Amino acid sequence: MKGSLVVAAVALLASSSTLADAALELATQKECLSCHSLESISQAPSFKSIAHKYRGQAKVEDRLVSTVMWGSPTYGGYHWGTTKMPTPGSRPRVTQSEASQLVQWILSLK
């Protein structure tokens, strides 16, 4: 029994690592890292800063997926300082599935 739990825990950690690697690769392909980084603020907030600000907020995933797909909302002003997320025409297109994967990964960062 104890051995089964250890095997399951190792498998879960391995799959989490693989999912994180896939999300980082997707962020690289979609040029997210041109403005964002994991930890330091450059042109845009770091992914860890985004995770810290939004983690645990109600319905935040839908809002962030929309921002990743379409850029900063034209309504309601800026959501982070005075820099806006570019629209899809000025960066690679991100599907809803890809945006969801990226947002879930970002919100999982500690």
Report the C-alpha gap between 103 and 67 in whole angstroms: 10
Is pLDDT above 70 for 98? Answer: yes
The arithmetic mean of pLDDT across residues 6-19, rounded, is: 51
pLDDT interval class at 1 (50, 70, 90): very low
Is residue 84 exposed (0-12), middle (13-18) or buried (19+ Cβ within 10 Å)? Answer: middle
* Assigned CATH for 2-108: 1.10.760.10
The distance of Cα 100 from the centroid of its chain, to the nearest Å, equals: 8
The contacts found for 1-6 with CB under 8 angstroms, 24 or more apart, are: none
pLDDT interval class at 83 (50, 70, 90): confident
Report the C-alpha gap between 31 and 102 in whole angstroms: 12
The arithmetic mean of pLDDT across residues 36-48, rounded, is: 89
Domain-wise residue ranges, the chain = 2-108
pTM score of the predicted model: 0.79
Coil vs helix vs strand at 80 = coil
Report the C-alpha gap between 67 and 39 in whole angstroms: 20
In terms of average pLDDT, the best of 59-63, 75-79, 84-88 is: 59-63
